[in-house]
């Protein structure tokens, strides 16, 4: 009796081995080709989100407020890194972790310039006689696959992307506004060193803004701004090389690690300066907020919130106490919530007690000359009819000129130019 060889099991085994091998090849191909391609898409999409976040951060940093307004900037979440989608069989690299850090850009300096007008403080010294230091923010990506992703930099109001072969502006600059003749000198302070997937930046205005300061050419040379930068070509591309190109009334030329911007003398220019803490914790190192506009002949507001200012005088026999008169023409009391005092000249006083009573029995606030606005506690209520309030200074104020800034409980704000 003959025997037949049995081949059915061998066929099944061979088929299994072939299918397993094909699976391994397919998985290897997926891991080697498709996972990197998909991760590149994830990283590219993250970079687009990051550009949006940094654009919002730029806007928040430039969102400076006038004295008496809410001073806080909006906190901004920045997605500095990303995770890859979960995969059942394929292996992912670690999350892509980026870094967001401050870097000392250098300085901004204004040359060949004089102040046109009368101001408190000393704008020539505080704004025009020295370079102003400022920081920039640099984002470095930590991608696995998107190797051509740019380094993103924020400096002097401009956001730009530095690629390997080119640097491109991501926003316009707001330092120079030729259409309105405004120089927006926003200086940035503080240290930032963040890495990971997400962080929150909470900036704060720590000094200023100053009142707009009209500036004029001081000699034969035009007014110039020298701006520290590693990318002068980007600035030149936005501002232009003549007064007619790019930003009206401004021309830019490259320097050594800087760009120099000349201003058209036929344009009426004014400068406003502010210092912002990127991390919200730095104390001001300058006194920009002391610079306030003043003309001795300037009229005070006739009526604000139903209140009319009636003038000021020294209290008899005293040279450090001033009585200010107000008339409330409304039927209800109007409260003073905030107050600030700033000397213009002719006094060494450093602070004043604000009271609503002649006998100084209850001080509503002690105001630092040139300092921040102070909340009044208790609030001073101006009743219908005539009212007097008092400022008791720590030095002689005879023949002095100063500004009293107030905010009423109606939300109205104003400045009174006081000459006792």
Dihedral, CA atoms, 378, 382, 383, 384, nearest 10 degrees? -170
Phi, psi angle pair for 189, to nearest 5°: -125, 170
Which of helix, strand or coil describes residue 396? Answer: coil
What per-residue confidence (pLDDT) applies to 68? 44
Decide if pLDDT at 380 tops 70: yes
Share above pLDDT 70 across residues of the chain, in percent, rounded to a whole number = 80
What per-residue confidence (pLDDT) applies to 70? 45
Local confidence band at 35 (pLDDT 50, 70, 90 cut-offs): low
Local confidence band at 108 (pLDDT 50, 70, 90 cut-offs): very high
Average pLDDT, whole number, for the chain?
Answer: 83
Residue ranges and CATH numbers for the domains of the chain are: 42-84+93-290 (no CATH), 307-418 (2.60.40)
For residues 183 and 287, give the distance between their C-alpha atoms in angstroms, rounded to a whole number: 18
Give me the DSSP letters along 24-44: HHHHHHIIIIIHHHHHHHHHH
Decide if pLDDT at 56 tops 90: yes
**pLDDT of 266-280, one tens digit each?**
888 988 888 888 876
Peptide bond into 378 cis (omega under 30): yes
| Of the candidates 10, 36, 258, 252, the residue with the CA atom closest to the CA atom of residue 131 | 258
For residues 122 and 292, give the distance between their C-alpha atoms in angstroms, rounded to a whole number: 9
Within 297-344, where are the H helices?
Answer: none
What per-residue confidence (pLDDT) applies to 67? 46
Structure tokens at 397: 């104020």
**pLDDT of 118-157, one tens digit each?**
665 566 666 777 888 999 999 999 998 898 999 999 999 9
Query: Could you tell me if 42 and 34 are in contact, meaning their C-beta atoms sit under 8 angstroms apart?
Result: no
Q: What is the pTM of this model?
A: 0.66
Local confidence band at 253 (pLDDT 50, 70, 90 cut-offs): very high
For residues 338 and 403, give the distance between their C-alpha atoms in angstroms, rounded to a whole number: 14
For residues 199 and 204, give the distance between their C-alpha atoms in angstroms, rounded to a whole number: 16
Decide if pLDDT at 25 tops 60: no
For residues 238 and 247, give the distance between their C-alpha atoms in angstroms, rounded to a whole number: 7
| Of the candidates 246, 223, 243, 244, the residue with the CA atom closest to the CA atom of residue 235 | 246
């Amino acid at each position: 009796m003959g025997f037949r060889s049995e081949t059915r099991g061998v066929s099944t085994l061979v088929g299994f081995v072939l299918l397993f091998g094909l699976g391994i090849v397919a998985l290897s191909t997926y891991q080697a080709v498709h996972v990197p391609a998909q991760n590149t898409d994830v990283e590219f999409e993250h970079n687009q989100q990051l550009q949006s976040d940094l654009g919002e951060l730029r806007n928040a940093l430039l969102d400076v407020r006038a004295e008496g307004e809410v001073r806080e900037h909006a906190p901004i979440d920045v997605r500095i890194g990303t995770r890859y989608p979960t995969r059942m069989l394929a292996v992912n690299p670690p999350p892509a972790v980026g870094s967001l850090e401050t870097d000392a850009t250098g300085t901004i300096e204004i040359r060949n310039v004089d102040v046109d007008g009368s101001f408190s403080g000393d704008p020539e010294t505080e704004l025009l006689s020295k370079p102003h230091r400022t920081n920039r923010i640099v984002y470095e990506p930590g991608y696995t696959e998107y190797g051509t992703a740019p380094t993103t930099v924020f400096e002097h109001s401009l956001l730009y992307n530095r690629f390997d072969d080119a640097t491109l502006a991501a926003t316009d600059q707001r330092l120079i506004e030729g259409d309105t003749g405004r120089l927006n000198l926003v200086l940035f302070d503080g240290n930032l060193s963040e890495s990971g997937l997400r962080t929150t930046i909470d900036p704060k205005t720590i000094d200023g803004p100053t009142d707009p300061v009209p500036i004029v050419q001081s000699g034969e040379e035009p007014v110039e701004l020298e701006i520290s930068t590693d990318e002068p070509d980007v600035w030149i591309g936005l501002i232009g090389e003549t007064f007619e190109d790019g930003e009206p009334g401004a021309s830019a030329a490259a320097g050594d690690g800087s760009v120099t911007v000349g201003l058209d003398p036929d344009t009426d220019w004014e400068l406003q300066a502010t210092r912002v803490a990127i991390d919200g914790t730095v104390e001001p190192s300058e006194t920009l907020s002391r610079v306030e506009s003043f003309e001795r002949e300037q009229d005070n507001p006739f009526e604000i919130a139903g209140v009319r200012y009636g003038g000021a005088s020294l209290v008899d026999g005293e040279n450090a106490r001033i009585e200010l008169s107000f008339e409330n023409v409304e039927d209800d009391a109007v409260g003073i919530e905030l107050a600030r005092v700033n000397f213009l000249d002719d006094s060494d006083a450093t602070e004043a007690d604000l009271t609503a009573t002649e006998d100084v029995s209850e001080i509503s606030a002690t105001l630092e000359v040139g300092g921040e606005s102070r909340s009044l506690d208790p609030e001073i209520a101006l009743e219908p009819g005539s009212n007097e309030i008092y400022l008791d200074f720590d030095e002689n104020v005879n023949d002095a000129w100063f500004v009293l800034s107030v905010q009423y409980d109606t939300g109205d704000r104003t400045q009174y130019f006081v000459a006792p």
